Structure 1
Amino acid sequence: MIDDNKVIETLDELSEFLRVVENGGLGLENVTGIALATNNSNGRPFVAVLDDKHQLLLGRWVTQDVFDNGKDLVRKGTKKPH
């Protein structure tokens, strides 16, 4: 499910979204991954929250800039090493 009304427009917004997901703030169960992807039908970029079967649990549209520059943030996560 992708929420059409919410678009992540900055890297700070992406970071906040990732923190909320990492901390369980959205009430999603069985989250095992987060990825940047593009919609097959229109090529629009989004961030995908995935379960252990790689099924989409939640998606949020992102701008092209966030898609291009947020890959390391998604790959490494937002948690800082101790």
Structure 2
Amino acid sequence: MTNEHDVIDNLEELERFLLSIENGGLGLKDVAGVGMATNNTDGRHFVAVFDNNQKLILARWITQDVYENGKDLVRNGSQRKH
């Protein structure tokens, strides 16, 4: 996570982030999945993008509220039409 201040702090921003991954807007290659996780060192939550080998290719910090309320959005994807 390259920018400590670039935190996703609402569900709309999380949805935009997920849609940009899904639509190829971030230029990521071999995206296989997205998940939420917790940093073992400091307990902060983040959304992670994984490749086909389950290697982390991108991550963004998220707030506690987004972690608690955005799980279905990450699990099921956006319901918006592309």
Q: Aligned pairs, how many?
A: 80
Name the counterpart of 2:16.
Answer: 16
Deviation at 1:79, TM superposition (A): 4.4
What pairs up with 1:1-82 in 2 under 5 angstroms? 2-3=1-2, 4-80=4-80
TM-score (norm 1): 0.91
Aligned equivalents of 2:21, 2:79: Cα separation in 1 = 12
Structure 2, unpaired ranges of 5+: none
Give secondary structure in 1 for the equivalent of 2:6.
strand
Deviation at 1:38, TM superposition (A): 0.6
Provide Cα deviations, 1:17-70, integer angstroms capped at 9, x if missing partner: 000000000001010000010111111000000011111100000000000000
TM-score (norm 2): 0.91
Deviation at 1:13, TM superposition (A): 0.4
Deviation at 1:80, TM superposition (A): 4.3
